Structure 1
Amino acid sequence: MPHPAPQPIPERADPLTAELVVDVAAAVAPAISPDGRLVAYGVVANSGGDGRPHGSIWVAAADGSTSPRRLTDGTARDLAPKWAPDSASVFFASDREEQGTAQLQRIRLDVSEAIAEAEAVTSWRGGICGYWPLFDGRTVALLAEDEPAAEDNRREAGRDDAKVWGRHLPATRLRLLDLETGVLRTVDGLGDRHVVELAQRPDGGPLAVLSWSTPELDPGVMTAELHVVDPGSVTVHDLGPVGIEARSPAWWNHNGVWHLAHLAVTPGHLVGGLAVIDTVPPATGPAVGHRNLTVGMSVCPTGLVQVADGPPLALFADGLDTALYRLHPESLRFHRLSCAPGMLAGLTASRSGETLAVLASTAYEPKNVHAGPTGGPLVRLSDTSPELRRIHWGVQERLGYQASDGLPLDGLLILPAGRTRETGPFPLVTLVHGGPYFRAADEFTLNVVDCGQWLATAGYAVFLPNPRGGSGHGHEFAAVAAGAVGGDEWTDILAGIDLLVTERVADPERLGISGWSHGGFMAAWAIGRTDRFKAAIVGAGISDWGMQAGTGDWGILDAALGGSTGWQGPGPHVHDRHSPISYASRIRTPVLILHGEQDTNVPLGQAIHFHRALRHFGVEHEFVVYPRESHGLDERAHQLDALRRIRAWYDRWL
């Protein structure tokens, strides 16, 4: 039976407008102070007149004893706060000096002004890409490209800017800044490798550094290596290759032996669930004996955080919910500490690991910063969008059902606002998540991509399925998508739709399907398999997997999903069977195509290809391109346009 979450009913309901959706402020990137007393976080909102989101930095007591205090005014992109080791000042990245170029800023908290005065720490030409304050209190590790030389400036001014492919993306290098002297040292021992992330050993020792062979995602994410860097001598010890999509390095100590763990795709697979991989760095030479600490688990790690006095903490996607785990140092297995409904993300822990902060969201509460003891309970610190409590939302139900082969599945159903199941059937829009290694958690989402409540408040029921290929159910569940997109994941989605039709929630004559990215692929795929859908929306979706493998950011990983590339000899190829473009002649469903002009993840050519095929076969469709946008929509006017088009498209056809 479905289990609807209790919904707070406002005394006075306000209409949900596109402006309200787009202008909602959102908490991001919490960072708890090393002493566990304070939490800094960012708030992103469309607060500026330039049509782009801005950010401000806030700080709150971790126990909720005082109201949050805004440290910056939100007129620039002030984001990514991190604490100094003495918990007395907050660093953050800001483009206040030059729009679009981030520099490091610092605010000392021994002042009483409501809006504190920030001091510029860097003025690096081209800006910084990342930073980490080190435990000595006087050094900050910076990630930044080389500053442009005079010759680079001359060429740019003269438009003599030919780019040699493979060398046109400058690598991000690791640099160590002395805050007292201003001296900046570059770690030359990493050569031309592109540095993406680091973590300092909690005793103030060496840095664990993750690098790629190139800034390009393909082959960057497949060529990751770990290094140990001494911040004093800047000597480098190479530990060798690590897993695909490696991230989140975390040191931990057991019986005097330092371990180094990280997240990566389960070893031996290009596509599959994330795993926690652990090794003991040797004194010399490459690391050996990498161990998968999450093998066999039916949940998927999403975040890994080191603490000073014990093994790491981790968040795990657990079906529709999120669980907090801690590694047991003897068994080398993760043990669950707690489980929270909906979504937890952005885990950050105090130095001792006794206090943590996260972003938490449930069915009717958007992401806000929560903090408290590691054993719980957590207190909400931020409240960035109280105006949303005046909206009467659609009831969000948790669904459990079976695939055609009997596999248990889950998902969500959002009923039209103000309606119950008994007043159905309703027009139903199936909203497929991206990835495919994402999931629909029992959280509140309200934006252009995840627009379930936007549709529910307009009278539509919305189905958010979690088909195979996604996260939350372990590696094997996720790995099914490899070389077989559109297979089991499509029949899993169909089984949920059939159930909702049988239960008279969905009107079989008024079915629509939408998605963004991989969800856009699934929408395009669905309308080539059946004419049951009366309308579809394809957002930044893939129409040809061979083209995607050759032109998309993820390259060979997309080839692993589609099953082949186009350069393996004359076709037909495996990916032809999995590409919506191959079935365009069957499509009769009206389609709205939305795509960013500067998208490199799923290039615009995918949408153009699909549009031309639909035009050739006389299919009713509309093709909308958003200038300057990448894989999502960032500019306010574009978000407003897309939200209105989405509703209007379904109003027209359903």
Structure 2
Amino acid sequence: MKKLLPLLMLVMTAASCVKDNDSENVPDTQINVSYGSHAQQKMDIYLPPQRSSSTTKVLVMIHGGGWSGGDKSDFTAGIAGVQQLLPGYAIFNINYRLAAAGNVNPFPAQEQDVKAAIEYIYNRREQFQISEKFVYLGASAGGHLALLQGYKHTSPVRPKAIVDFFGPTDLTALYNNSALAALLLPQALGGTPTSNPTLYQSSSPINYVTAQSSATMILQGGIDDLVPPSQSTALRDRLNTAGVANQYVFYPNEGHGWGDPSATDSYLKIAAFLQIHNP
């Protein structure tokens, strides 16, 4: 996770922003903003200068960690690089309740929290001076949550695009084909596909793909021993069948997360993808 967001300072230069008389002229950073009553329901907010409720795009970042670990701080070191890569985007880096032994915060708590965070942001568009042009980006479990939110919960906002770094897409298939995931999933979901098949089905993003689904970029490592490439290719094929715009980026020698040069290449490709699908 922490290797995914290099600062990108060597390859990026910030684009100039056109002055908007209706927007603020200074950046605004807010750390640990609560969107719910639980201690883990917090987000960090990075609002760009000269923002506008008609034009400023939104990037929601969702960390990984097997639904039971990780933190928004995993992305923090890379925020400056993302701001240079995507100048003018408002960035919301969110936490969510983590599952733990003893049936603490089992799924769908994480799904519910992402939904609540999105609604919190959307309902404060005028306050933040941001538009309805949302993009979701997540890695690993965060990729799964980004896809699930984007495909399953299309109200009040349908994202313009989703960026998925090696996120699980079919939880039953993942349980059956990844020994490591088979250890994580029962704790997160409170059971197995046999004991709770309905939850596994309702928590699998691949089951919510339609012709109206958001444009999706999928990034996958070829030697990922936690989320195998079959999870990503199955989603790619489902998107193709439904006629949904997508791009599959495969790094044959990378595992579950990667550093440079693949990380910089990933974000350059993401920027190009968003220029097309969230212009």
Q: TM-score, normalised by structure 1?
A: 0.35
Q: Does 1:580 align with 2:205?
A: yes
Q: Which runs of 5+ in 1 are unaligned?
A: 1-14, 21-392, 447-451
**Which amino acid letter does the alignment assign opposite residue 11 of structure 2?**
A
User: Post-superposition shift, 1:498?
Assistant: 2.3
Residues 398 and 413, structure 1, Cα contact 8 Å, conserved in 2: yes
For the residue of structure 2 that corresponds to 1:533, the secondary structure is coil
Change (3 A) 1:627 1:485: farther
Structure with bigger gyration radius: 1
Structure (1/2) with the larger helix percentage: 2
Pair 402,483 (structure 1): closer, same or farther in 2 beyond 3 Å: closer
Letter of the 2:226 counterpart = N
Match of 2:9 among 16, 20, 33: 16
**Using the alignment, how far apart are the partners of 1:556 and 1:573 within structure 2?**
19
Determine the C-alpha separation between the residues in 1 that align with 2:211 and 2:118.
Answer: 18
- Residue 488 (structure 1) shift: 2.2
Matches of 1:561 and 1:434 in 2, distance apart?
A: 13
Verify the 8 A CA contact 1:562 1:578 in the aligned structure 2: no
- Which amino acid letter does the alignment assign opposite residue 540 of structure 1? F
Q: Does 1:559 align with 2:189?
A: no
Task: State the partner residue of 1:424.
Answer: 52
Cα deviation, residue 623, structure 1:
0.6
Partner of 1:467 in structure 2? 96
Equivalent residue for 2:232? 607
Measured against aligned partners, the alpha-carbon deviations of 1:536-567 in whole angstroms (never above 9, x if no partner) come to 1011101011122222323132133245434x
Structure 1 residues 637 and 438 mapped into 2: Cα distance closer, same or farther (>3 Å)?
closer
User: How far 1:455 moved relative to its partner?
Assistant: 2.8
Q: 1:502 to 1:467 in 2, by over 3 A?
A: farther
Deviation at 1:527, TM superposition (A): 1.5
In structure 2, the partner of 1:239 is none
Aligned positions of 1:182-221 closer than 5 A? none
Q: SS of the residue aligned with 1:513?
A: strand
RMSD: 2.9
Counterpart selection for 1:597 from 215, 219, 222: 222
Task: Kindly indicate whether the alpha-carbon contact (under 8 Å) linking 2:115 and 2:149 is maintained by their aligned counterparts in 1.
Answer: no
Pick from 16, 31, 34: which aligns with 1:398?
Answer: 31
Shift of 1:497: 2.0
- Where does 1:148-547 land on structure 2 (aligned, <5 Å)? 395-403=28-36, 406-407=37-38, 409-416=41-48, 419=49, 423-425=51-53, 426-435=56-65, 436=67, 437-441=69-73, 444-446=76-78, 452-457=79-84, 458-469=87-98, 479-480=104-105, 482-484=106-108, 486-508=110-132, 510-528=133-151, 529-530=153-154, 532-547=158-173
Deviation for aligned residue 1:644: 0.3
Q: Determine if the alignment matches structure 1 residue 650 to structure 2 residue 274.
A: yes
Q: Is the 8 A contact 1:486 1:525 kept in 2?
A: no
Contact 2:72 2:95 in 1 (8 A): yes
Give the structure 2 partner of residue 95 of structure 1: none
2-structure distance, mates of 1:512, 1:461: 10
Aligned equivalents of 2:186 and 2:172: distance in 1?
A: 7
Q: How does 1:11-160 map to 2 (within 5 A)?
A: 16-18=9-11
Contact preservation (8 Å) 1:485, 1:578: no
Alignment CA distance shift 1:444-1:539 (3 Å): closer
| Number of residue pairs aligned between Structure 1 and Structure 2 | 247
Give the aligned residue type for 2:263. Q
Q: Structure 2 vs 1, CA of residues 653 and 565 (structure 1 numbering), >3 Å: closer, same or farther?
A: same
CA distance 1:465–1:395, change in 2 (3 Å): same
Give the Cα–Cα distance (whole angstroms) in 2 for the partners of residues 407 and 485 of structure 1.
Answer: 11
- For 1:491 and 1:410, locate their aligned partners in 2 and report how far apart those are by CA, in whole Å: 13
Report the Cα distance in structure 1 between the residues aligned to 2:238 and 2:109, rounded to whole angstroms: 21
Residue 581 of structure 1, CA deviation: 1.1
Q: 1:584 to 1:559 in 2, by over 3 A?
A: farther
Query: What one-letter code is carried by the residue in structure 1 that aligns with 2:29?
Result: Q
For 1:439, give the aligned amino acid.
Answer: D
**How many Å separate the matches in 1 of 2:74 and 2:244?**
36
Confirm or deny: 8 A CA contact 1:546 1:559 kept in the other structure: no
* Other structure's SS at 2:248 match: strand
Which structure: greater strand fraction? 1
Whether the aligned pair in 2 keeps the contact of 1:484 and 1:563 (CA below 8 Å) is no
Gaps of 5+ in 2: 1-7, 14-25
Equivalent-residue separation in structure 1 for 2:158 and 2:222 (angstroms): 31
Q: Using CA pairs below 8 Å that are at least 6 residues apart, which structure has the higher relative contact order?
A: 2
CA separation of 1:587/1:17 partners in 2, compared to 1, >3 Å: closer, same or farther? Answer: farther
- 1:18–1:521 distance in 2 versus 1, CA, 3 Å: farther
Tell me how far apart the structure 1 counterparts of residues 250 and 147 of structure 2 sit (CA, whole Å).
17
Distance 2:35 2:224 in 1: 36
Deviation, 1:534, is 0.5
Residues 538 and 642 of structure 1, relative CA distance in 2, 3 Å threshold: same
SS at the partner of 2:131?
strand
The percent identity for this pair of structures is 21
Structure 2 residue identity aligned to 1:526: Q
User: What's the CA shift string for 1:52-81, capped at 9, x where partnerless?
Assistant: xxxxxxxxxxxxxxxxxxxxxxxxxxxxxx
Q: Secondary structure at the match of 2:93?
A: strand
